[in-house]
Amino acid sequence: MRRLRVGVLISGRGSNLQALIDAAADPGYPAEIAVVISNRADAAGLARAAAAGIPSHVVPENDRAAFAAAAQLVLADAGVELVALAGFMRLLHDEFVAAWRDRMVNIHPSLLPAFPGLNAQRQALAAGVKFSGCTVHFVRAEVDTGPIVAQAVVPVEDSDDEARLAARILAAEHRLYPLAVRLLAVGRLRIDGNRVLVSDSATPDFVALNPSD
Ligand code: GRF
């Protein structure tokens, strides 16, 4: 089986990178992590890449165009076919976004289009929503926009603070990102305007009430 070559961009902890590394450890998984790029030398995710024997590069350029140029070289050199942003905290140059159009995805800790930008979990608590979750989407020039590939929903509990809600969402992220990349890698996604249609998909048949009693 030919595996899709994925380049993962990180800035920090790298727990979503780890989820992708763990998924790709299964030889039956249709994607492999070819290279990791971090814009920060102190990103903990770099050690995760090293532990998995995945080459990594620190591309610290602050200027967007300079970062894009340097990152493109690394991605091309590694034969990357899909870019996965995983806690990558820098804005990307428009030309970089255009170059990877429909071949770059991001994971965000809210049910987009609600709560884009920073501190999505804090935004959800402030808005008083009873459910939140996470979203994997194709990347477009506007931050946290783009056709939605997949979402996971978690309840918001009365006792939640930002950290508790973030932890619940993060556990969902670690399931959702490998699923979304798998669907993409096997060619089951078709972008139709703002929608991503998933062939042969099993959609859950449920209504979740919160509170449920
Ligand atoms: C995640 O919550 C992700 O949704 C957001 O940044 C966080 C990154 O966490 N974009 P990690 O570095 O993958 O642990």
- Which amino acids bring their CB within 6 angstroms of ligand 1? 10, 12-16, 45, 86-87, 107-109, 134, 170, 173
Ordered by where they begin, the domains of the chain are 1-100 (3.40.50.170)
Alpha carbon distance 151, 172 (integer Å): 9
Alpha carbon distance 67, 96 (integer Å): 9
5: pLDDT confidence band, cut at 50, 70 and 90? very high
Region for residue 187 given its phi and psi (left: phi exceeds 0; alpha: psi -120 to 50; beta: otherwise): left
Residue nearest to atom 9 of ligand 1 (CA): 87
Catalytic annotation, pick one of 93, 108, 137, 174? 108
Buried b (16+ CB within 10 A) or exposed e, 21-32: bebbeeeebbbb
Q: How far is the CA of 12 from the centre of ligand 1 (A)?
A: 8
Instruction: Please report, for the chain, how many H helices and E strands are present, in that order.
Output: 6, 9
Query: pLDDT tens digits, residue range 85-106?
Result: 999 999 999 999 999 999 999 9
- Residue at 92: amino acid letter: L
80: pLDDT confidence band, cut at 50, 70 and 90? very high
The mean pLDDT of 179-193, rounded to a whole number, is 98
Report pLDDT for 6.
99
- Is the omega angle on the peptide bond into residue 211 within 30 degrees of 0, that is, cis? yes
Q: How far is the CA of 100 from the centre of ligand 1 (A)?
A: 20
108 is catalytic: yes
Ligand 1 nearest atom to the CA of residue 107, by list position? 4
Mutate-to-test residue for ligand 1 from 123, 165, 173, 175, highest number of ligand atoms within 8 A of CB: 173
59, two tokens: 């591309």
Q: Say which residues have a Cβ less than 8 Å from residue 111's Cβ, sequence separation at least 6.
A: 131, 132, 133, 134, 135, 151, 153
Alpha carbon distance 119, 108 (integer Å): 10
Alpha carbon distance 190, 52 (integer Å): 31
User: What is residue 66's three-state secondary structure?
Assistant: helix
Query: pLDDT tens digits, residue range 102-129?
Result: 999 999 999 999 999 999 999 999 999 9
Report pLDDT for 58.
98
164: pLDDT confidence band, cut at 50, 70 and 90? very high
Max intra-chain CA distance, the chain: 56
To which residue do tokens 């255009």 refer? 98
The mean pLDDT of 48-69, rounded to a whole number, is 97
Report pLDDT for 104.
98
Query: pLDDT tens digits, residue range 11-42?
Result: 999 999 999 999 999 999 999 999 999 999 99
Residue nearest to atom 2 of ligand 1 (CA): 109
**Mean pLDDT (the chain, rounded):** 97
Query: pLDDT tens digits, residue range 122-163?
Result: 999 999 999 999 999 999 999 999 999 999 999 999 999 999
Mutate-to-test residue for ligand 1 from 9, 92, 107, highest number of ligand atoms within 8 A of CB: 107
pTM over 0.85: yes
Alpha carbon distance 107, 126 (integer Å): 21
